[in-house]
């Protein structure tokens, strides 16, 4: 998918259409409360950060965090990873909010 779209779309849009449509398929297949869906949201958020779309990342991290906390709990490694990713994002925007990593004293 990405290879085909790279010939049609400008470089900044390589990943957007295939990943976003894939996310919809995953949500329909797995359900919105499935941990694999949450992990894919986390991965998409990381990709968006790396490609300069930081303004679209926070809602993805927050949705992933909500799902993983409900499924695994706050102390699970996957939950902590997403929480730390969100905390890093917010810290770099000077807005730590409610994303303090669990290994840091509150």
The string of pLDDT tens digits covering residues 31-88 is 778 898 899 899 989 988 888 888 889 999 999 999 999 999 999 999 999 999 999 9
**Per-residue model confidence (pLDDT) at position 31:** 75
**Per-residue model confidence (pLDDT) at position 30:** 77
Q: Which residues, 6+ apart, have CB-to-CB distance to 58 below 8 Å?
A: 86, 89, 90
- Mean pLDDT on 9-23: 48
Count other C-beta atoms under 10 Å from residue 1's C-beta: 12
Alpha carbons 43 and 52: distance in angstroms, whole number: 14
Which of the pair, 57 or 98, is modelled with greater confidence? Answer: 57
Confidence of residue 94 (pLDDT cuts 50, 70, 90): low
């Amino acid at each position: 998918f990405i290879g085909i779209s790279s010939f049609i779309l400008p470089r900044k849009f390589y990943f957007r259409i295939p990943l976003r449509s894939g996310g919809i398929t995953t949500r329909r297949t797995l359900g919105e409360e499935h941990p694999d869906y949450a992990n894919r949201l986390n991965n998409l958020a990381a990709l968006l950060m790396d490609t300069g779309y930081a303004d679209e990342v926070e809602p993805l991290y927050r949705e992933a965090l909500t799902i993983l906390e409900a499924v695994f709990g706050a102390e699970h490694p996957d939950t902590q990873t997403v929480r730390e990713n969100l905390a890093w994002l917010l810290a770099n925007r000077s807005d730590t909010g409610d994303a303090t990593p669990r290994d840091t004293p509150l």
